[in-house]
Copies of this chain bind each other. A is one copy, B any other.
Amino acid sequence: MLVRIDFSSDEAFYVQLKNQIIMGIATSEIREGESLPSVRDLAEDIGINMHTVNKAYSILKQEGYLKLDRRKGAVVCLDADRLRTIEEIRFLLKGTVAKALCRDISKTELHELLDEVFEEFNGIRKASGTGR
């Protein structure tokens, strides 16, 4: 899977990496059971330090996106409990809605934008046997 670090961004490298991996899982670019490159390989590939990659992997493990297996490496394994995820999403939406309200963007418009973003994902997502 393709990863690119923006070295001029104000976002921390490990955050960029973490988000791109989540995006990769969401678009089925990388699927459940599949492995990511080793921390050393990926670090070499994208031009950052091994520990920075390790930090991203560790957080993704803690947040329930990866399982770190000695034989298979970093394996995509989505086993977080739904309730906590829903609370996280509610929190994210709260910030988004706040900004929308400040700009007189209506509830309807937000729903439309949400649909558009979903359409965007459907365009990128690859066919899958799992239904995800």
Contact = CB atoms under 8 A, between A and B. Distances in A.
B95 A19 contact: yes
A118 B94 CA distance: 8
A132 interface: yes
B95 A92 contact: yes
Nearest to A24: B98
Contact of A22 (B99, B110, B121): B99
A20 to B, nearest CB: 10
Contact of A80 (B25, B82, B103): B103
A88 interface: yes
Nearest to A98: B26
Given A103-B85, A113-B90, A98 B23 contact: yes
Nearest to A107: B118
Given A89-B110, A107-B118, 16 more contacts: A19-B95, A19-B98, A26-B99, A27-B101, A78-B103, A80-B103, A82-B103, A82-B105, A88-B99, A89-B100, A89-B105, A94-B120, A98-B121, A107-B115, A111-B111, A114-B114
